[in-house]
Amino acid sequence: MSVLRWLTIAVMAATFAGASASGAQLRDNTLYSVGADFKGFDPADSGDTVSAAMISRVYEGLLEYAYLDHPYRAEPRLAEALPEVSADGLTYTFHLKKGVHFSDDLCFPSGKGREVTAEDFVYSFTRILNPKLESTGDWIFINHVAGAKEWVQAGNLTVKIPGFVAVDRYTLQIKLRQPYPQLIWVLTMPYAFVVPHEAIEYYGREFRRHPVGTGPYVLKDWRFNYRVEFVKNPTFSGQTYPATGELDDRAAGLLEDAGKPLPLLDRIVDYEISEFYTVWQMFLGGQLASTGISKDYFEKVINPQFELSDALQKRGVRLYKTPNMDLWYIAFNMKDPTIGDSTDPAVAAKHRKLRQAFASAIDVPTYCTVIHNNRDTPANTILPPGVAGYTTKPYAYQFDRQRAKKLIAEAGYPNGKDATGHPLRLTMISAGAGSTDARQQAEFFAEQLRAIGVDLVVQQLSFAEYLRREHDGEAQIVYAGWIIDYPDGQNFMQLLYGPNKAPGVNFCNYQNPEFDRLYEKVLTMQDCPERSALYAQMSDIAIADCPWALMTYSLSYGLFQPWFQNYKPHAFPYPNAKFYKVKPH
């Protein structure tokens, strides 16, 4: 899932799943949180963390993560139970819960939400594969579900995809092309949430402003770029707070609400604020129950031992440090005539050296210190720590300016100069237009490249424009991040799988037959040491080709007011707001 770095609070809002706030002056049972750059309520377009969190307030899918359980485990949500899987691993059968209704909305003939059926899932899954929609989530099914790829290529939308079958009103079957163990995980993602066809037909292009789901909340009011307000969905039922968790969850007070019907909060208000100073003042003033920490506040809030400062500890504020299980990297467009791949091996080798020079030229440890206040650590493999397949092998292109200069000379740009004698000019896009952090980051990269004679132009774009350009696969270089969608290294490796190239998630258009072969092999394997070894091997192949310059893994620091309850860090926290509670204070 691509993520928006600059709007730290947005990331925090999503990372902590809107784990924010209640105002002391407010008497109702409301969570006030912050987000920014929210794009709308379309599950087909839920590829960023902020949208995923907002959409998960209203929509639901067949499965979700068990909130308190680690290691992560999927449990049924709209399904009665986990699926029955055929012996060959190719057919998954889900029995749906009966009596689950969409929320009441004008799109239904009587205004009353109708019951969810297996056909709705067939419709919703087919919808994200519709090429006209250009969903960023088609990858979850397209290469795996029987007939999906052919359906997309044929372009005949009236025909049904053979892999999605509504056996009866409450039975859904997903038929696969080959075993796909990750199916359980992808079905927890917002892309796989169920939407009613009536809403899409009724609202048309305005659908993303009018969510109609089965989730714990309904949208009450959305003022674009200002605030989004949700209230409890009166027709939501059937889910209670978990009664079991990890060993120390009871001591941490996380099981006090066991068995209580969800959601625990009556109302959620998400403010779209991208200015951290405002968020910080709201947090200190008790209006918000949680916040991330921007880099410039970090030293004041967190002491050199990376613990909370005394002043905040005295107020009862709690600090959570959560590994994001993400990777930040600089992706080179392999179709680009200057820096990409080539059919001529000599040219391809030169371009590879140019990419390697770029990667070696960036002082990542200093970048972590200056731009991220040591909250991040330099990345060394394609997979972040905590994901099977991660190794501690040192990164092949650690900062070495002399080596970078040598490589760039070998690439045909002595001292960074091109054939005309001018510095080689490269263009990178990044998100965060208008953000101070993004500008400082852009300056940092430009300066590092200038030291080897390269003129790096960084275009800072709005997040929506950035995603569009990234999706197009035309940008020369992209500063990108990926936060894991489910606990499986395949989620990262798919970003480099040849057939996923733009407009798929492999927007850098990397293609290596050996990498693709191994990817296809691991895809059908269950989690085992052999699979982890293959992931490590794939990481080595990709690093040698250098379609990405690896930057950092990040750690989120979140602060929570003492009255904010039931929060437990989670790598996939999007639907978790329904578990949160605000104590009277």
Partner 1 sequence: MNDASTNRPESLWAIAWQQLRRKQIAMICLAILVAYAGIWLYAEGNFWSAKLRGVTPNYRISNYAIRNQPPSATHWLGTNYAGRDNVSQIVQGTRIAFEIALLTSCIVIPIGFALGALAGFFGRKIDTGIVYLYSVVGSVPGILLITAISYVVRGAVERSPAMQTVTRYADSGLLAVCIGMGFTGWVGLCRLIRAEYLKHRERQYVLAARAIGVRPAAIMFRHIAPNVAHLIIINFSLSFPGLILTEAVLSYLGVGIANEPSWGAIINDAKQRLWLGNWWELAGATAAMFFLVLALNLFGDALRDALDPKLRTAETKTA
Summarize as ranges the residues that interact with partner 1 (CB under 8 A): 276-277, 280, 294, 296-297, 299-300, 366, 369-370, 422-423, 425, 427, 433-436, 439-440, 442-444, 446-447, 450-451, 453, 455, 457-460
What residue type is 39 in one-letter code?
K
Shortest Å distance, C-beta 332 to partner 1: 18
C-alpha span between 528 and 508 (Å, rounded): 29
Shortest Å distance, C-beta 509 to partner 1: 19
| Exposure letters 459-491 (e unless 16+ CB within 10 A, then b) | bbbebeebbebbbebebbbbbbbbbbbbbbbbb
Shortest Å distance, C-beta 49 to partner 1: 22
Residue found by looking up tokens 């005309």 in the block? 420
User: Whose Cβ is closer to partner 1: residue 86's or residue 366's?
Assistant: 366
User: Whose Cβ is closer to partner 1: residue 188's or residue 435's?
Assistant: 435
Shortest Å distance, C-beta 296 to partner 1: 4
**How many beta carbons lie within 10 A of that of residue 415, not counting itself?**
13
Per-residue CA distances from 83 to 21, 79, 211 (Å): 36, 8, 27
Contact 163, 93 (CB under 8 A): no
For 451, counting Cβ atoms within 10 Å of its Cβ (0-12 exposed, 13-18 middle, 19+ buried), the class is: middle
Shortest Å distance, C-beta 522 to partner 1: 38
C-alpha span between 20 and 149 (Å, rounded): 41
User: Whose Cβ is closer to partner 1: residue 386's or residue 434's?
Assistant: 434
Maximum Cα–Cα distance across the chain: 72
User: Whose Cβ is closer to partner 1: residue 365's or residue 499's?
Assistant: 365
User: Whose Cβ is closer to partner 1: residue 84's or residue 443's?
Assistant: 443
Shortest Å distance, C-beta 11 to partner 1: 17
Shortest Å distance, C-beta 276 to partner 1: 8
Contact 322, 569 (CB under 8 A): yes
C-alpha span between 396 and 380 (Å, rounded): 8
User: Whose Cβ is closer to partner 1: residue 291's or residue 511's?
Assistant: 291
Residue found by looking up tokens 């936060």 in the block? 483
User: Whose Cβ is closer to partner 1: residue 112's or residue 422's?
Assistant: 422
The conformation of residue 247, written as its DSSP 8-state character, comes to T
DSSP 524-566: TPPS-HHHHHHHHHHHHHHHHH-SEEEEEE-EEEEEE-TTEES
Cis, peptide link before residue 263, omega less than 30° from 0: yes
Contact 478, 330 (CB under 8 A): yes
Shortest Å distance, C-beta 400 to partner 1: 18
CA torsion 347-351-356-359 (nearest 10°) is 180
Shortest Å distance, C-beta 412 to partner 1: 18
C-alpha span between 464 and 444 (Å, rounded): 23
CA within 13 Å, CB half, 527:
8
What residue type is 401 in one-letter code?
R
User: Whose Cβ is closer to partner 1: residue 403's or residue 450's?
Assistant: 450
User: Whose Cβ is closer to partner 1: residue 143's or residue 274's?
Assistant: 274
Shortest Å distance, C-beta 435 to partner 1: 6
C-alpha span between 163 and 146 (Å, rounded): 4
User: Whose Cβ is closer to partner 1: residue 168's or residue 447's?
Assistant: 447
Shortest Å distance, C-beta 366 to partner 1: 6
User: Whose Cβ is closer to partner 1: residue 423's or residue 504's?
Assistant: 423
What's the gap between Cα 348 and its chain centre?
32
What's the gap between Cα 85 and its chain centre?
27
Shortest Å distance, C-beta 457 to partner 1: 6
User: Whose Cβ is closer to partner 1: residue 286's or residue 569's?
Assistant: 286
